[in-house]
Amino acid sequence: MAQTPGQNNAVDAAHVPDATALARAPYVSLVTYRRSGAAVATPVWCAADGDDFFVFSAGNAGKMKRLRIGQQAACAICDVRGKRLSGERPARAEIITAEADIARALAALRRKYGWQMWLADTLSRLTGKMSRRGYIRFRLTSLTGADAS
């Protein structure tokens, strides 16, 4: 859609999304933190199930390594390239390893992304990467760090 003169099509980065907006977003910028405290944002697919949000990644990816250091995270709505389209929301993230949790994560991701997730799963199986995947669960927190309601 073309921008008309005088029209501002920029998204308000100060707008902090609620859980529903994050659940509907096709891409979410997941922010994890290095030991130095430096933030690293990565655009990811993200699916919600109840109060939990799920992400998958290569098991040896930087975000997985950073989450082994600490659970502090943040998220924002973004585009496929990671350009933020909303303000940031604090979160608490963890790597999940229990089969039931992984099954729940895959079910949520497959519900949301449909054929795209099927294709990602198929290619991962064909290349032998499915068994090396890592799964992340995060929950939104309030600005004070307590779990969001």
Give the pLDDT score at 128: 87
Q: Is residue 133 part of a domain?
A: yes
| Mean pLDDT calculated for residue range 13-29 | 89
Q: Is 2 inside a domain boundary?
A: no
> What confidence score (pLDDT) does residue 12 get?
55
Closest CA to 46 of 114, 86, 99, 105: 105
pLDDT of residue 11: 52
pTM of the model: 0.83
Instruction: Check residue 63 and report its DSSP letter.
Output: H
Does 35 have pLDDT greater than 90?
yes
- Domain for residue 105, yes or no? yes
Q: Report if residue 39 sits inside a domain.
A: yes
In a domain, 70, yes or no: yes
Q: Say which CATH number the domain at 28 has.
A: 2.30.110.10
**Which residues span the domain enclosing 74?**
19-140
10 falls within a domain: no
Q: How far apart are CA 94 and CA 76, in angstroms?
A: 17
Is residue 148, in this structure, part of any structural domain at all?
Answer: no
Residue 80 included in any domain: yes
d(CA 88, CA 65): 21
Segment 122-145 shows an average pLDDT of: 87
Average pLDDT, the chain: 87
The answer to whether residue 16 scores a pLDDT higher than 80 is: yes
Instruction: Say how many domains are in the chain.
Output: 1
Q: pLDDT (tens digit, 9 = 90+) per residue, 67-120?
A: 999 999 999 999 999 999 999 999 999 999 999 999 999 999 999 999 999 999
Containing 44, the helix (H) or strand (E) segment is strand 39-44
Give tens-digit pLDDT for 37-73: 999 999 999 999 999 999 999 989 989 999 999 999 9
Q: What band does 129 get if pLDDT is binned at 50, 70 and 90?
A: confident
